[in-house]
Structure 1
Amino acid sequence: MTIRPLFRFTLALALSAVSGLVLAAPPKAFTATYRVLRDGSPMGEATVSLKPLGNGQWEYSKHVRGTSGLAAMLGANLDEVSHFRWKGDVPEAVSYDYRLDAAIKTKQRHVMVDWGKHQVTVDEGKGAVTYPAQPGMVERNTTALAIGLALRDGQKQIALPVAVKQEVETQRFKVTGKEKVTVPAGGFDAVRVDRTDADRGFSAWYAPERYPLPVKLSQKDGGDLTMELVSFR
């Protein structure tokens, strides 16, 4: 009585392996900490975390606290919170909240995706903007996670539909080589990824067999900022 079900299971497993249908599982919940530098000098610390919400959605958050230099003097804090659902290995956006607080400046953005209407609404406090959603769409906060998962799956060139202020923008990234990187978390033989569709100075170094997030990230859009991994648990 058990031979037929066992045969069917074995056959299905073999066919899946041959056809490449066995997909990697989404990452488990984690918390990572980073050292943040501006122009090469310590500026603050960041905590990045992923956790399930229990309703088919997940929360991915990043909290940056200014602890040194001008950032500490201004009491600068940045909070980004994303809710998403998994679409394969892609963290498909559901909502995103951004808030920057400093002594001289406050900035916020709220993004909501209505998948029933396939519509994105972006509100920065000056009137909402709406535009069509795109399946598999991420937003700025979850982009680094989506890149890491694509690298884990063996992709060398990555095109991501990203919900920005007024539209879904296709951002393109490419593996440009392997480099040895030393950060507070240790030394890594890392894969370097650069953005190729815009001259915005985005580079990230990943150890995709170990972590879904970069061990180092550098971005020159809005200042020479670098994040270096301190711990991952």
Structure 2
Amino acid sequence: MTTTTFLRAGLALALALPAAAFAADVPQSFTATYQVLKDGGPLGEATVTLKPAGNGQFEYSNQTKGTSGLAAMLGANVAETSHFTWSGQVPQAVSYHYQMDAAVKSKTRDLTVQGGTVQVQDNKKSFSYAAVPGMVERNTLPLALGLALRAGQQQVALPVAVKQAVENQRFTVSGKEKVTVPAGSFDAIRVDRTDADRGFNAWYVPAKFPVPVKLAQKDGGDLTMELVKFEGR
């Protein structure tokens, strides 16, 4: 049994794991399909995919399509694509692309890690700040949380690259809850964000899935994702 640092740069999150398990126990490829709800009503569908991208990198994408209500009328679609490398069990950020298209407007954001610097292009605005080892970004955050929970963590701290800085986001397991989603009924672990009042809640079954079976986000609207199907390893 050895102690392996899960996150560095002053974040006190450590694991006590067998070395072989730490090195090998990461997903290689999967596809997860979700239904997306807004204020409890149907809004669209999302497909989350992980696959190898070559040169030691992986691609993690989230494609969300508006299929109901105003989202369907406006043809609203959101695509998020991340490239990362595994740093232990952390999907360490290499790049992130966000594209939102609708009839009334569009929005893009690109984030690239170059050496020790994060470069962000948010529509016409540019930002630059120092990178942090073990850093993830908004798209890969749920995957990083799922792997920390599978390792038995009750308190999780993650450096997350956002628009203008790295946020040290903290999450706490608040208990177990019965959750019913289209994929089935599960005894899930509930996780809440604790460093800020952002209304982030997620429910995981880490022994079965590396991603949440349900995720609720109130920042920018009362949105919920519920797992429909999971395929992969």
Give the TM-score taking structure 1 as reference length: 0.90
Aligned-partner Cα distance in 2 for 1:193–1:166: 26
Aligned-partner Cα distance in 1 for 2:84–2:19: 23
Question: Partner of 1:6 in structure 2?
Answer: none
Q: Which has the higher strand share?
A: 2
Q: CA deviation at 1:125?
A: 2.9
Task: State the number of aligned residues.
Answer: 217
Overall identity of the aligned pairs, in %: 65
Q: CA deviation at 1:19?
A: 7.2
Matched, 1:83 2:86: no
Superposed CA deviations along residues 208-233 of structure 1, whole A, max 9, x for unmatched, are 00000000000100110000000000
- Amino acid in the other structure paired with 2:59: E
Map residues 51-130 of structure 1 onto 2, 5 A cutoff. Answer: 51-115=51-115, 118-130=116-128
Contact kept? 1:38, 1:224, Cα under 8 Å:
yes
Change (3 A) 1:194 1:19: closer
Question: Partner of 1:8 in structure 2?
Answer: none
Question: Partner of 1:176 in structure 2?
Answer: 174
Aligned-partner Cα distance in 1 for 2:29–2:19: 24
Q: CA deviation at 1:128?
A: 1.9
Contact kept? 2:192, 2:201, Cα under 8 Å:
yes
User: Unpaired segments of 5 or more residues in structure 2?
Assistant: 4-15
Superposed CA deviations along residues 111-136 of structure 1, whole A, max 9, x for unmatched, are 00012xx0000001323211000000
Superposed CA deviations along residues 170-189 of structure 1, whole A, max 9, x for unmatched, are 01000000000000000000
Q: Which has the higher helix share?
A: 1
- Amino acid in the other structure paired with 1:53: A
Superposed CA deviations along residues 22-74 of structure 1, whole A, max 9, x for unmatched, are 33421120001000000000000000000001210000000000000010011
Aligned-partner Cα distance in 2 for 1:196–1:230: 28
Question: Partner of 2:7 in structure 1?
Answer: none
Aligned-partner Cα distance in 2 for 1:187–1:93: 33
Superposed CA deviations along residues 139-179 of structure 1, whole A, max 9, x for unmatched, are 00000000000000011100000001111110100000000
Contact kept? 1:219, 1:226, Cα under 8 Å:
yes
Aligned-partner Cα distance in 2 for 1:35–1:73: 18
User: Unpaired segments of 5 or more residues in structure 1?
Assistant: 1-14
SS in 1 for 2:49: strand
| Structure whose CA Rg is larger | 1
Q: CA deviation at 1:21?
A: 2.4
SS in 2 for 1:154: coil
- Report 1 or 2 for greater relative contact order, CA contacts < 8 Å, sequence distance ≥ 6: 2
Which of 138, 149, 152 is residue 150 of structure 2 equivalent to?
Answer: 152
Aligned-partner Cα distance in 2 for 1:41–1:170: 32
Question: Partner of 2:40 in structure 1?
Answer: 40
SS in 2 for 1:44: strand
Matched, 1:212 2:210: yes
SS in 2 for 1:203: strand
Contact kept? 2:154, 2:172, Cα under 8 Å:
yes
Aligned-partner Cα distance in 2 for 1:82–1:166: 18
Aligned-partner Cα distance in 1 for 2:2–2:190: 31
Contact kept? 1:16, 1:22, Cα under 8 Å:
no
